[in-house]
Structure 1
């Protein structure tokens, strides 16, 4: 269109020049060159303008295509950003769901652990109740045993008073009684020390009660074994006693075996004292362990308090960081919205540029015939092009900045997500730790309350033990008085022993006389039997010797009567001895029972009473046999 207009203007200028040539023939030669030059210059200018307009149109087309591409790329970027946003939201939701599942599983595991611990705590409480019941039962048994011991002691004292006249050879026994009394005093003092140790080791006594019970059971089993052995020994002693009733020598051997048993009992008592010393040492070790446990509990409580303070500080920092992160995320979202608004404004400006370009093209199409207007439009177009180029450059820079900011935003978003996850995990861990600390603290409180209850119970037991000690002291005073009485009785018994020894010598002489008489009676009886046999042979052989046989028969009958009388006497003596033996057996059975009770109660006075009664029984048997 511009070429046509320019050609039309050139054709319109040619007739004007021809008319000027016809009118001014004279001036043609002078002005032809200048006009031609102007025309040529105008043509050149027109050609240049045409080229420049074509170039500008190409530039405009390229700019439009670039704007279109930039809009398309911007739309692609926005679509990709929306897709990535959706993908990140999906990933974050899946990650959050996984974390929730893990958190639920962890909570379930922790609940299971808590239930298991509660069950263990309940089982421990049941065990503790059972142990306390067993301890109370053991205390009741101890009280009953003490009552039985007191009864046995009283019975032993009565038995000693009744059997004073029959006791002999109590010199060694008195020494043993004195030693045993000293040992009993030492045992009382040791019991005092043990009670003081129990006062000191209140808490450890509860912990080590199981071990002590096991040791007590072992001791009980050993005691039962010892009792069984003693019962076996007693059965053997019964056999020896029966044999002692047959012979005096075996009775003395039985007395010696009894002495050996008494020494064995003393050895057992020494072992019991050693065991009590070992128990004292164990109680001291338990007290040291108790102090250590208390110190460790105090240290654990301090550590728990420090950890709780640190956890609270961490929670405060985590909440602050979470608030800062939420603020940063909100600021980034606002920047994103601003960028979207800038992009929208740029798209609107691009649309306006397109409209302005369309208007410019229309104006160029309408005003190509006017060069001045074309030059002006050219300047305007150049200005518009410069502005567009600057805007395009700015848009490219902004696009690059947006891409960089988008990348940074993605990196920061990923970092923020990772940090949020880490903070969530730390917050959850801190909450779990806090819950565990609270539970442990509550458990420790419960333990402390239980220990306080145990200390109260132990104080009650200590008060009871103090009362028992008072009773034991009174018993000890009574025993000292009884010891003095026994010393007086021992002096009396010595005198009686001397008298009994003299009687024993007389009884031995009588026994020897009886044995000689029995030997004579046996000889006469054998002679009578021989004579009877001889008469039977003579009757079958000769009748003449009947008178002599009758005479001998009369003598034999007299001898037979005398022998029958002696045999009846011997039978009566044996019957009386058998009755005495039965009485002695009954006494020995009662003595064995008293010995067993003495072993059970571990009382010295009952042992002494049983030993003295055995000595008395042996002496009575010997005297009865001698008679």
Structure 2
């Protein structure tokens, strides 16, 4: 401003010096006019010369005026330019210096804060990326473990299916065995009915034996009706022979059935052995399933721990992401505020530029006629242009930094969106894994229930099997004793048959002797009728001899009858013992039927067979 004022003052001084020179030139013309009034010729010549001089001077003055006008115009333009530039530069320098100082401090602080936040965000992004990679690795491990768990579960399901098939087969076999047992029960009922019939027949036989005993007791008293009684006895003996034949046939059939039942019992023992083998295999499979269950539980615990750690890391990541989002929102708000401030600053700069331009135009309108030195304004202009260029470079750098910050913020937003998407995906996957874990827990609980049920059933089956084995041993011991009893009874039956045959032979011999006696009596009666008087002594001798013979023949018959009586008494005692044994066996059968198991029914069938054999043996005896 001081240089501009100096140039304006110099131009004004020059203008004041030029009017003094113009005043001196008219004074010279007036002196010349005074001297030229003397001679007209001289006046004409002087006028001509003056005119020429004036023309020259006017021409020169015109040239000078044109040159001065041009110089004035150039100087005015330069002055206007220099003054406008000086004023613009000065005002801009002052204003921009103050504004740039304020903005520079604020922007530097903000830039430093943004740089710090960006670096922290980059570090957090790197940590988040690392955590994301770790989470992905953990998720892949979980997926692999889940696939392994699924394979194990499929294997377990296949094993369960196989167990179900085997259980179905066992159920079919059990149904078949139950059908056979029902058939055996039907046979048992039929045998019980036959037993009742046999008991009735035995009672009838006992009654018949009693009647026979009575008849034998009355045999000595009723000698006249011996033939009729003998005929009746023969008929009864025939019937008894028929009954014995029928009973022998029944015994043979029963023996055949006993063989069939023994074969069935052997088959059942084989099936039981196979069932025991299957039970052992099932126990092994259950042990393997328990080991797999333990492994699954270990995997589930490890998955729970990993899930808890992943949930904790996700919570931390969500908290950090929320903090980042808040910081990014704060940065965006600060960025928006900086943009608004920059826009206001730009508007203010534009207003100042317009004001400076208007002021310079007004000032140049006043300073159109001044002269200006070229060196100082040009230097000031160059300095001002350098300053302005620096300011524009600083503004451009600031805008560039702002754009870089905006790009970084946008990149951070994109990365944050990606992280949020990944977080959502991981949360979805975790929810799915949670559901899979819940389903696996349900399946494991179901498997545990099934295993507990199977273990309970196996324990129950083991206890039943132990009880059955004990009962089987008892039944085997009983069967052994019963077999011994059967052998003893068979021997007694053979002895009874032999004694019966002997008795039959003796009865035949007695009948023959009775016939002979009758013939002798007839002969004696005829002889007595012919010669009563002559042969009294001889007849007496023959009668005494015949009586002795009859007594000799009747004595073994009486002894045999006494033996038969004792045998019938023994038979009654044996029948009572057999009835007691049958009652005990029926009690054991009732107890066995309460247990309702396969081997108990088999044992009951064996006891029934033994009882039937005892009954038949007793009947045959």
Q: What range is the shorter-chain TM-score in?
A: 0.3 to 0.5
Q: Select the structure of larger CA radius of gyration.
A: 2
